[in-house]
Amino acid sequence: MVAALAKVTFSVLAESRFLKRVASRYGMRQPDSFARRFIAGESVTEAILVAQTLERQGLTVSLDLLGESVASREEALRALDGYLQAIGEIERAGIGRNLSVKLSQLGLTTDRATTVDNLRRVLDAASKGEFFVRIDMEGSQYTDATLDTFETVWEIGYHNVGVVVQSTLRRSEQDIRRVNKLGARIRLVKGAYREAREVAYNRKADVDAAYVDLMTLLFREGTYPAIATHDPVMIDRAKQIAAASGVRPDAFEFQMLYGIRRDLQAALLAEGFRVRVYVPFGAEWFPYFMRRLGERPANVGFVVRSVLREKL
């Protein structure tokens, strides 16, 4: 009941134009604002400045243009233009050429054919600049369509693309085996979406156990696994499994979100591991941030605990 009420509350807040205007004025434009700890800014220029700082620390980056679930073909085309602009700006800036995309932002909720066309345009531009593009995984209602779209572009010949799999979903082992057979790269996350028991594990212990099992599968059969977690227990297990599987530190990478557990990022770098930081940016930062909190209210406490735990 409490979780359902929180989700509704955050969803209402996310749709508030007034709060969005206020947040845009005070939450992102102030250099010391709370939001700027986790979101690079509203423009790709701001994201690039953050990325350059991270790269000077020895980290690699992936830029993430915020926005999702567009309602029309026109909105999808605007999102496409945003991705193409980001690719051009990233290339000119000379930072790492790695980009995250959401298919619902490119039209998946309106028309799959349009989505494939838009994704191909992103991948064409990315190919010319030698970018790698990661397709995010959203709620379980999009899992089949996301994997089908990914496989479609892969079979056409776009191999500069990978996909995300969530350990919270009960189906994820078969999805990983499917992608592994292609030789494509997978980013493994726990998953932030609240899902029905029929399709997902709801207990943290079960999600963690599935994460370990899926990591093991990736290290044994996968292609350059991306282990995306801020959980020190999962990080230690990843190190152990990788070593036991004969996977060198340069044959996989850890991934974290901008502003979260910077102490762990630095520690992993010092140990010789590769660490990539996802750098979110865009005008839709406020709805995105609020919806993420609403999908799993425990994220609020997690963010606060992460800040308090860091030794900056």
d(CA 222, CA 236): 19
Residue 68 has a pLDDT of 78
Burial class (CB in 10 A: 0-12, 13-18, 19+), 301: exposed
Is 51 within the bounds of a domain? Answer: no
Average pLDDT, the chain: 88
Lowest mean pLDDT: which of 24-38, 57-71, 132-146, 154-168?
Answer: 24-38
Q: Are the CB atoms for 176 and 210 separated by under 8 Å?
A: no
Q: Are the CB atoms for 285 and 262 separated by under 8 Å?
A: no
Is 82 within the bounds of a domain? Answer: yes
| CATH number assigned to the domain comprising residue 259 | 3.20.20.220
d(CA 251, CA 62): 18
- 76-95 tens-digit pLDDT: 999 999 999 999 999 999 99
Pairing label, strands 132-135, 98-101: parallel
> What is the reported pTM?
0.88
Lowest mean pLDDT: which of 44-58, 79-93, 183-197, 223-237?
Answer: 183-197
Catalytic residue among 134, 185, 187, 262: 187
Is 27 within the bounds of a domain? Answer: no
Is 15 within the bounds of a domain? Answer: no
pLDDT-derived band of residue 304, with 50, 70 and 90 as boundaries?
A: low
Residue-range definition of the domain harbouring residue 233: 56-283
Of 168 and 3, more confident:
168
Q: Are the CB atoms for 195 and 139 separated by under 8 Å?
A: yes
Of 194 and 191, more confident:
191
Predicted confidence (pLDDT) at residue 145 exceeds the cutoff of 70? yes
Token digits of residue 167: 């350990």
Is 278 within the bounds of a domain? Answer: yes
What total of structural domains would you count in the chain? 1
Is 28 within the bounds of a domain? Answer: no
Predicted confidence (pLDDT) at residue 7 exceeds the cutoff of 50? no
- 16-71 tens-digit pLDDT: 666 666 566 555 666 666 677 788 988 999 999 999 999 999 999 999 999 878 88
Residue 4 has a pLDDT of 46
Is 187 in the active site? Answer: yes
Residue 104 has a pLDDT of 94
Token digits of residue 204: 């943290």
- 117-131 tens-digit pLDDT: 999 999 999 999 999
Is 48 within the bounds of a domain? Answer: no
Is 136 in the active site? Answer: yes
What does 217-240 look like in DSSP terms, one character per residue? HHHHH-EEEEEE---HHHHHHHHH
For residue 93, CA distances in Å to 52, 113, 129, 206 come to 9, 32, 12, 43
Catalytic residue among 64, 136, 175, 208: 136
- 262-298 tens-digit pLDDT: 999 999 999 999 999 999 999 877 766 765 565 455 5
- 242-266 tens-digit pLDDT: 999 999 999 999 999 998 889 999 9
pLDDT (average), residues 154-177 = 97
